[in-house]
């Protein structure tokens, strides 16, 4: 393999990994937004059953899965 081909292959891998990471971040943000919107639609009666810490914990844990 020529020297420039190795550099080109390395650059392609770096770009691929970067795009995969960006896609993962966008998916995590979208999922967090969905959970947040769901929490906002809950009734006040339902919200009284959960503490703010439990809701925050749901957001953090579910987004990481």
- Ordered by start, the domain boundaries in the chain are 24-65
Q: How many CB atoms lie within 10 A of CB 58?
A: 14
Tokens read off for 12: 């392609």
pLDDT at residue 46, rounded to an integer: 82
The DSSP call for residue 50 is S
Residue 57 structure tokens: 């914990």
pTM of the model: 0.67
pLDDT digits (tens, 9 = 90+) for 10-47: 999 999 999 999 999 999 899 888 888 888 888 888 88
Could you count the other beta carbons within 10 Å of the beta carbon of residue 47? 13
**SS3 call for 1:** coil
The pLDDT-based confidence of 1 (bands split at 50, 70, 90) is: low
pLDDT band at 4 (very low <50, low <70, confident <90, very high): confident
More confidently predicted of 50 and 62: 50
């Amino acid at each position: 393999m020529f020297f420039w081909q190795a550099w080109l292959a390395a650059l392609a891998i770096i770009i691929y990994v970067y795009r995969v990471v960006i896609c993962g971040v966008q998916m995590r943000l979208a999922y967090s937004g969905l959970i947040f919107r769901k929490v906002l639609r809950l009734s006040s009666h339902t919200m009284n059953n959960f503490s703010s810490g439990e809701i925050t914990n749901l957001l953090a844990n579910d987004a990481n899965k």
